[in-house]
Amino acid sequence: VPEAVAIGIDVGGTKLVAATLAADGGVLRRLRRETPAGDERQLVGDLGDLVAELGSDLPVGVGIAGLVTPKGAVRYSPNIAVYDLDLAAELGQVTSGGVAIVNDASAAARGHHDVVMLTLGTGVGGGVVVAGELVLGTQGYAGELGHLIVEEGGRPCPCGNRGCIEAYASGSAIGRAAAQRLATTDAPGALRDVDPLTGKSVTLAAREDDELAREVIEEAGFWLGVALAGLVNALDPEIVLLGGGAAAETAPWMVPAASAAMRQRLLGPDFREIPPIELASLGDDAGMVGAGLLAAERAGTI
Amino acid sequence: VPEAVAIGIDVGGTKLVAATLAADGGVLRRLRRETPAGDERQLVGDLGDLVAELGSDLPVGVGIAGLVTPKGAVRYSPNIAVYDLDLAAELGQVTSGGVAIVNDASAAARGHHDVVMLTLGTGVGGGVVVAGELVLGTQGYAGELGHLIVEEGGRPCPCGNRGCIEAYASGSAIGRAAAQRLATTDAPGALRDVDPLTGKSVTLAAREDDELAREVIEEAGFWLGVALAGLVNALDPEIVLLGGGAAAETAPWMVPAASAAMRQRLLGPDFREIPPIELASLGDDAGMVGAGLLAAERAGTI
């Protein structure tokens, strides 16, 4: 059995996933809990329990959606309903191995040379790698690609604005779009009997050849492609990576639609290489593993 | 008199500006010509004449809108109507001092630490600096910020797509928006008698307190702010710089409107520093001077 070099934790909108990691990023032992959204003390307590169970002498890396300072304070994480929580300090009390708190999507994008990465989950996060280095930005807040506006005045986004790509291509947005379609059509379909409608239930229906479910996912992919065109025009990456559960599940319908919409909107598509859109190899684990390995690097255990 | 270290040339949609530059970027002698848009041989000839007149032993740096390869071939420059022109090779025949051909906005953004720069002229270009380094991208095509889509399906853009910020905030777009407003309202105003309506004529009317002209510029600023919100969410720069003639002229109305729209759309505006939006200090000369100094650096004359 390989030795554990770190604990990686992904704090998502609906679940906490924690695991001990080998030096190559392999997952050794994995634990899951529901995210106690909106209850900061409970969140800190749950994370402490997970660390205690996995090994309180290991470096701990946490990936979490939102604005995270370089020192590991979570300033603004609306999907988890956490505001101004010094998570690095809190978790420093439950492990002797060192703590790294990073934006989940930024953590997931590590290890590539020139990358635009979007993570599709409850929300949409992102990470940008330029010349092999993760772009942190002046305050450490770079990579919030989910709030690129693709349709000013468009669909309401959980961030309070309208028209952000998160309002079109997140798992939650796919669920909402399906509900909207069902409410405005008489078309039959597997989704009629599903409650609640989520990205997951829409994906399951798409797998069973439900036409409406596939159209909803393709529409999300179209909008994703609109956002990606802007990002590829701005940053000219070698590859576009998609991470997060909603991307992995919807890929067969989402990715072709996104590729077509992106290509059509790139400047001079016939005069350039078009970057491929691929699933991040670690899929839903990318943020957790990226954060854990970052913690191990900082602690010097790898 | 300071010694000339390079020739800087800005190839814009309407004019060529060339100058000998001192080591500090100061302009020593300046020449101007109209851009022979759509005639590549004439463009090469005119640039050769400018170099011959300014000093054919100096390094020559050219800033030009569009996709430029790292070796200095212009692959795609729709505003100048140049496609696949190896400008570095062409100009290498008229100077012994070395040649650098770069995207104009990227050239203008050099010299700052974390910057998003947009140049507003005939089109909208851009440059991104991350951690002090200009972002070139995998193929050297990064920085095309003018084609970020802010309203999918919106106003037609010269690039062939719809809804790009270039279709809302360039000098040409301001002229078109003013014409559109005049055609759909009976409101009086100084612009009624102006033909053709351009960004420049709208700006002149705004300076003379013309209400419609100011509204048109403020609307362009609003859309600019929408685009900037996405870019600041993505890259978290310390500053947003605006270059190009249309930015310098319209700033008194454009910048406040852009700032307000950007702030409202940033993720967690109360939890972060909002980067200021400022005019690039070199204004309309920024691309020319940036390109010239890059050529001087590469040639080792500074």
| Confidence (pTM) | 0.79
The string of pLDDT tens digits covering residues B137-170 is 999 899 999 999 999 999 999 999 999 999 999 9
Strand order in the sheet with B15-21: B27-34, B15-21, B6-11, B60-64, B99-103
Work out the number of other CB atoms within 10 angstroms of the CB of residue B300. Answer: 8
- Do A271 and B76 count as a contact with CB atoms less than 8 A apart? yes
pLDDT value at B111 more than 70: no
Give mean pLDDT, residues B296-300. 92
Average pLDDT, chain B: 92
Query: CA A130 → CA A99, A112, A115, B297, distances in Å?
Result: 25, 9, 7, 23
Q: Among the ranges A73-82, B189-198, B225-234, B274-283, which has the highest mean pLDDT value? A: B225-234
Q: Nearest CA of chain B to the CA of A227: how many Å?
A: 7
Element (DSSP H or E) covering residue B293: helix B286-299
- Do A138 and B229 count as a contact with CB atoms less than 8 A apart? no
The verdict on B112 touching A (C-beta cutoff 8 Å) is no
Say if residues B100 and B76 touch (Cβ distance below 8 Å).
no
pLDDT value at A131 more than 90: no
pLDDT value at A152 more than 80: yes
pLDDT of A166: 97
User: Of chain B residues 167-206, which have a CB less than 8 A from chain A?
Assistant: none
Q: If we measure between CA atoms, which residue out of B252, B293, B258 comes closest to residue B277?
A: B258
The verdict on A223 touching B (C-beta cutoff 8 Å) is yes
The whole-angstrom separation of Cα A125 and Cα A252 is: 20
Lowest mean pLDDT among A8-17, A156-165, B180-189: B180-189
Say if residues A139 and B113 touch (Cβ distance below 8 Å).
no
The verdict on B234 touching A (C-beta cutoff 8 Å) is yes
- Do B161 and A137 count as a contact with CB atoms less than 8 A apart? no
Instruction: Give the pair of three-digit tokens for residue A78.
Output: 């609306």
pLDDT of A111: 66
The whole-angstrom separation of Cα B61 and Cα B87 is: 11
The string of pLDDT tens digits covering residues A251-297 is 999 999 999 999 999 998 998 999 999 988 776 788 899 999 999 99
- Do A230 and B230 count as a contact with CB atoms less than 8 A apart? yes
pLDDT value at A128 more than 90: yes
DSSP 8-state code for residue A13: S
The whole-angstrom separation of Cα B231 and Cα B115 is: 10
Task: Report chain B residues whose CB lies below 8 A from the CB of A135.
Answer: 130-131, 235-236
Q: Nearest CA of chain B to the CA of A75: how many Å?
A: 6
Instruction: Give the pair of three-digit tokens for residue B28.
Output: 């020593």
The whole-angstrom separation of Cα A200 and Cα B172 is: 46
pLDDT of A284: 76
Average pLDDT, chain A: 92
- Do B148 and A234 count as a contact with CB atoms less than 8 A apart? yes
Please count the CA atoms within 13 angstroms of the CA of B227 that sit on its side-chain side.
35
Give mean pLDDT, residues B7-24. 94
The string of pLDDT tens digits covering residues B242-261 is 988 899 889 999 999 999 99
What are the backbone dihedrals phi and psi of residue A20, each rounded to the nearest 5 degrees, phi first?
-80, 145
Q: Nearest CA of chain A to the CA of B151: how many Å?
A: 4
Task: Report chain B residues whose CB lies below 8 A from the CB of A83.
Answer: 271
Instruction: Give the pair of three-digit tokens for residue A165.
Output: 């790509």
pLDDT of B77: 87
Residue A132: which pLDDT band, with cuts at 50, 70 and 90?
confident
The whole-angstrom separation of Cα B142 and Cα B250 is: 26
The string of pLDDT tens digits covering residues B34-76 is 999 889 999 999 999 999 999 999 999 999 988 888 899 999 8
pLDDT value at A92 more than 70: yes
The whole-angstrom separation of Cα A297 and Cα A294 is: 5
Contacts of B168 (CB under 8 A, 6+ apart): B150, B151, B154, B155, B177, B219, B220, B223, B224
* Chain Cα centroid distance, residue A84: 20
The verdict on A83 touching B (C-beta cutoff 8 Å) is yes
The string of pLDDT tens digits covering residues B283-294 is 678 889 999 999
Instruction: Give the pair of three-digit tokens for residue A90.
Output: 């809190």
Which runs of consecutive H residues, i.e. helices, occur in chain A? 40-54, 87-92, 104-108, 166-169, 171-183, 199-207, 211-235, 245-265, 286-299
**% of chain A beyond a pLDDT of 70:** 98
Instruction: Give the pair of three-digit tokens for residue A237.
Output: 């990456």
pLDDT of A287: 86
Task: Report chain A residues whose CB lies below 8 A from the CB of B151.
Answer: 151-152
Q: Nearest CA of chain A to the CA of B43: how many Å?
A: 21
- What sign does the dihedral B51-B101-B34-B2 (CA atoms) show? negative
pLDDT value at B133 more than 90: no
Return the residue of A nearest to B153 by Cα. A151
Closest CB from A128, A140, A272 relative to B139: A272
The verdict on A138 touching B (C-beta cutoff 8 Å) is yes
Size of interface A-B (CB pairs under 8 A): 158
- Do A234 and B229 count as a contact with CB atoms less than 8 A apart? no
Query: CA A56 → CA A34, A52, A138, A290, distances in Å?
Result: 21, 5, 32, 19
Closest CB from B138, B152, B268 relative to A114: B138
Task: Report chain A residues whose CB lies below 8 A from the CB of B230.
Answer: 147-149, 230
- Do B235 and A131 count as a contact with CB atoms less than 8 A apart? no
The whole-angstrom separation of Cα A279 and Cα A247 is: 7
The verdict on B224 touching A (C-beta cutoff 8 Å) is no
The verdict on A219 touching B (C-beta cutoff 8 Å) is no
Closest CB from B142, B161, B265 relative to A149: B265
pLDDT value at A171 more than 90: yes
pLDDT value at A70 more than 90: no
The verdict on A70 touching B (C-beta cutoff 8 Å) is no
Contacts of A301 (CB under 8 A, 6+ apart): A5, A6, A23, A58, A59, A97
Q: Which residue has the higher pLDDT, A47 or B301?
A: A47
A286: three-class secondary structure by DSSP: helix
Return the residue of A nearest to B106 by Cα. A234
Residue A140: which pLDDT band, with cuts at 50, 70 and 90?
confident
The whole-angstrom separation of Cα B117 and Cα B281 is: 12
Q: Which residue has the higher pLDDT, B117 or A70?
A: B117
